[in-house]
A and B are shown apart, each in its own frame.
Chain A
Amino acid sequence: MATLQSYSLPDSPAQSIRPATSTIAGLHSVTKTYGQTKALDNFSFRLAAGEVVTLLGPNGAGKTTAVRLLLGLIAPSSGSVHVLGRDPRDADARTRIGAMLQVARVPEVLRVSELIDLFRSYYPQPVAASEVVRIAKLQGLEKTLFGKLSGGQKQRVLFGLAICGNPDLVFLDEPSAGMDIESRRALWDEIRALSAAGKTVLLTTHYLEEADALANRIVVINHGKTVCEGTPSEIRRRTSGRRIRCITQLDPALLVTLPTVSDVRQDREALVITAEAAEDVIREMLHRDRTLSALEISAPALEDAFLALTSQN
């Protein structure tokens, strides 16, 4: 049985006056093993008050394990977990936390309003039921049995249950799973609204677009370890170079020899050149080939950055 002592927080009282920099939840050198598999491997992670952080990674990367540890649903094999200055297994901490987990089935014979009423009762200072309905966009569905809802509507109910208690800290584990594009966008608006209201949000997803759209900070995780972390644009910059696409008569063999070029590929009639110093490479190419046309320069998509990062590992 692992000991669960919360590790000393780096924030002094002076710092905790500034909520943006104080740590509100964290995992410290946590390893979690299931049999032979290491779901998390010496993983450390901090969540500052007011942040929207995304744990981004492929399936089985350890995202859900991290959330379940922070919710006190499981204990770490080694390392420590703290939430709101407490052990997450402490019931007091839970009154300030909301969670949206991947639930296969909610009791289908209860009505939306009944589920909200039930979850509101768990919290000492709940949000008004009508407010929950409004925020989760469930107007007109209050009397509907959960089993009669569509996949996206079900996710919205689960989102509503997560915010019932007016939590300071919200965990959303794959919140947009099974949602269509429209409901996903609506959910993003709600998550932004939570952030605007000063809530701290931890979101897990394997949708890169979602991480990019919502997060102040992305933590890329794979095989239970942090691959890298930073703002969405920092993550993009991690993969070296930008992409130059153009139609040219220049020999690919020559182009590879230009400074900072890391890759040259034929893409139908055009060449795609990846280079760190894209401006210098283009200047040289334009100088050598007056017929060069259809020039495009792009930063790598977050998706490429993500794939490059997680496949290195």
Chain B
Amino acid sequence: MSANALALQMPQSTAAYVANIFAKEIRYEFVKMLRTRAFSLSVLGFPIMFYLLFGASNRHTDWARYLMASYGCMGVVSACLFGIGMGISMERAYGWLELKQASPMPRLAYLAAKIVSSAAFALIIELALIGLALTLGGVHVTVSETLRLLGVDLLGSVPFTAMGLLISVLVPSNSAPGIINLIYLPMSFASGFWMPISTLPHWLQRVAPALPTYHLAQLALSVIGAAEPGHMMPHFQALAGYTLVMFGAAWIIFNRSEARA
């Protein structure tokens, strides 16, 4: 077979070789997510469909701006939990991850592909929502607000990546979709993704600050001036804390299962 003599004489630089693996891995992960309709239709489709229903029917109101920000958060959480949590859990169960681990692929490339693709989905959702808000919602959105919203989404994908990783090491693949929905739907409701937190039952309002989704929503809503009064710093800190705890737990569980393998 072609042990390429030319390639032997001019060894590819290691950096270019590794960069190429990351690029291919990310590209095909994104293509895979896009073509997996169960994933792309639900993750992209739900926020957009809900905006068409509830945003467009509240034209020219603050509500149309509110939902643009809060449904964007929904996109971040669902892209990360389904894309990373369910994605890794399934590929582990099917043996595909093992085949990749037997190859020289760096583990980080696999992880990076999942994280970058999920974050890309989150950004696409936000951009679509902003587009809908400007047109069907009939509201004004500045360039600065757009950039800040996208920034919050990117930042928000970090703690939910960690949560996705934790789910992938804890939850068996066949129950992953159900369990993720069980976590994600109540959490997004209780954190004001669907309606302002002030309209929720009092006890729920007290529970909300314990949820990472609440802090993400507050950061996104602060961009459009709809956050609850107070400083934003505690929300950043809370998300950072969640990231450390969930990533740490995922790391410990993963290493334990490796040691047992």
Report which A residues bind B (CB closer than 8 A): 1, 71-75, 91, 94-95, 97, 99, 101-107, 109-110, 114, 117-119, 121-125, 127-128, 131, 135, 158, 161, 163, 165-166, 171, 197
Q: List 9 A-B contacts (CB under 8 A).
A: A73-B98, A103-B96, A104-B93, A114-B28, A124-B11, A124-B17, A125-B8, A158-B99, A163-B1
Q: Which residues of B contact A1 (CB under 8 A)?
A: 259
Q: Which residue of B lies closest to A32 (CB)?
A: B261
- Number of B residues whose C-beta is below 8 Å from A? 34
Contact A114 B103 (CB under 8 A): no
Q: Which residues of B contact A94 (CB under 8 A)?
A: 102-104
Report which B residues bind A (CB closer than 8 A): 1-4, 7-8, 11-12, 17, 20-21, 24-25, 28, 31-32, 35-36, 90-91, 93-96, 98-99, 101-106, 259, 261
Instruction: Indicate which residue in B8, B20, B36 contacts A121 across the interface (CB closer than 8 Å).
Output: B20
A91-B106, A166-B2 known; A121 vs B21 contact (CB < 8 Å): yes
Q: Which residues of B contact A97 (CB under 8 A)?
A: 102
Instruction: Indicate which residue in A103, A127, A131 contacts B95 across the interface (CB closer than 8 Å).
Output: A103
Contact B35 A104 (CB under 8 A): no
Residue in B91, B98, B103, B104 whose Cβ sees the most chain A Cβ within 10 Å = B103
Q: Which residues of A contact B21 (CB under 8 A)?
A: 121-122
Q: Which residues of B contact A104 (CB under 8 A)?
A: 93-95
Least CB distance, A36 to chain B, in whole angstroms: 14
Contact A166 B35 (CB under 8 A): no
Ranked nearest first, the 4 interchain pairs of A and B with the lowest CB-CB distance are A109-B35, A105-B94, A94-B104, A103-B95
Contact B96 A107 (CB under 8 A): yes
Q: Which residue of A lies closest to B95 (CB)?
A: A103
Q: Which residues of A contact B102 (CB under 8 A)?
A: 71-73, 94, 97, 99, 101, 171
Q: Which residues of B contact A106 (CB under 8 A)?
A: 94, 96
Contact A103 B1 (CB under 8 A): no
Q: Which residue of B lies closest to A123 (CB)?
A: B104
Contact B25 A118 (CB under 8 A): yes
CA distance A119 to B28 in the complex (A): 11
Q: Which residue of A lies closest to B4 (CB)?
A: A125
Q: Which residues of B contact A131 (CB under 8 A)?
A: 1-2
